[in-house]
Amino acid sequence: MTVQDTAQQTPADRFRVGIDIGGTKIEAVLVDPQDNVRNDVRIPARRGNAQVIDDVVSITHEVAGDLFDQVATVGIGIPGQVNPETGRVDNVVNLDIDTLELGTEAGKRLGIPVHVENDVNAAAVGAARMVGGSHPEGTIVFLNFGTGLAAGIVVDGVVQHGFSGAAGEIGHIPIDPNRFPCPCGQSGCLETVCSGASVGRHWPVEGKPPMPDLIECARRGEPDAQRILVMVTHAIVDAVQIVAQSYDPRMIIFGGGMAKTGQPLIDVTLDELRVRERTCPFLTGLHLGERIKLAQLDQPVGALGAAWAAPEA
């Protein structure tokens, strides 16, 4: 392809790069115009502003390879407070970032438009398209049970940020009756009970994920496991009801590390949901169990979502 041919292409005819930045690794995908993943690269994450910029630039070149000149946009998903309009990132504790103009600085180095989203919002776009179809219609909510708990809201394929960017921050709604202290300064936040990290604190096990072990032990009749599982599933269904009754989505997708538990996580969630439905015709009429799905966690959901969330240049 000649330089003139490349210049005449529209963004829809060109490639996209999506990058998912985590506390320990960075994953990038190269997506072709038909939304096929043409390449996938992972590198260790490094702490610090300069290191993150360098890693974004290097992994973009690595994943694109000889097709770099055909890349129209780069999308990035990253934890912390993100201004998607400017690409500014604040308070990424795991990467030692206080403030970073990630979109601007990476865009200058790459010579390509760079769009930055919060990592949960990026994953929400990815999950919505992978589970709900390439052109998802209506409202889809992605519940991320990871280190914390947050929801990504996608309407007709477009992530919703709200006025201040805090849309979906349901993990810090302080309604859990156990009143565990939260690092945010409140007590009783949902994520102190049903995030992946909190389950690990309440049910510590060596060498394996805590949620599958907790479910297995509870099913064997271990009293401590049964008590903790009731507490966790109560908070999970609180989260489901909050997003269901606030946004009335056609689909609620479970994602994040805890969702790797798979169908057993859905099963215990439905068990708690049925308990509530027995005494609440209103809740029964919502048919929430039919709306709950699992994200395709064997796929690079976050990186793909970051690529798809980037507007066409």
CATH superfamily of 127-294: ATPase, nucleotide binding domain (3.30.420.40)
pLDDT band at 294 (very low <50, low <70, confident <90, very high): very high
Hey, do 3-123 and 127-294 end up sharing a CATH topology, with the first three levels equal? Answer: yes
Query: Is residue 7 scored above 70 in pLDDT?
Result: no
94-98 LR contacts (CB < 8 Å, sep 24+): 94/22, 94/23, 94/47, 95/21, 95/23, 95/45, 95/46, 95/47, 95/48, 95/52, 96/47, 96/48, 97/48, 97/49, 97/52
Work out the average pLDDT over 104-133.
95
Angle of helix 102-110 relative to helix 49-64, nearest 10 degrees? 40
Lowest average pLDDT, out of 130-134, 235-239, 243-247, goes to: 130-134
Distance of alpha carbon 22 from alpha carbon 25, whole angstroms? 5
Token pair for 182: 């939260």
- Which CATH code is given to the segment(s) 3-123? 3.30.420.40
| Band of residue 11 on the pLDDT scale cut at 50, 70, 90 | low
| Average pLDDT, integer, range 107-117 | 97
Q: Number of helices and strands (H, E) in the chain?
A: 11, 13
Residue type, 80: G
**In the structure encoding, which two tokens stand for residue 313, read together?**
């240049």
Q: Where are the beta strands (DSSP E) in the chain?
A: 15-21, 25-31, 37-44, 71-78, 81-83, 88-92, 97-101, 114-118, 139-145, 149-155, 158-159, 251-255, 292-294
Planar angle of CA 157, 154, 37, nearest 5 degrees: 50
The overall average pLDDT reported for the chain is 93
User: Domains of the chain: which residue ranges?
Assistant: 3-123, 127-294
The residues facing 19 across adjacent strands are 28, 76
- The pTM of the full predicted model, rounded to 2 decimals, is 0.91
CA dihedral 175, 176, 182, 185 (to 10 degrees): 30
Backbone angles phi, psi at 52, to 5 degrees: -65, -45
Task: Give tens-digit pLDDT for 252-272.
Answer: 999 999 999 999 999 999 999
Q: For a pLDDT cut of 70, what percent of the chain falls above it?
A: 96
How many C-beta neighbours within 10 Å does residue 293 have? 17
pLDDT band at 13 (very low <50, low <70, confident <90, very high): confident
Tokens linked to 99: 């403030």
pLDDT beyond 50 at 286: yes
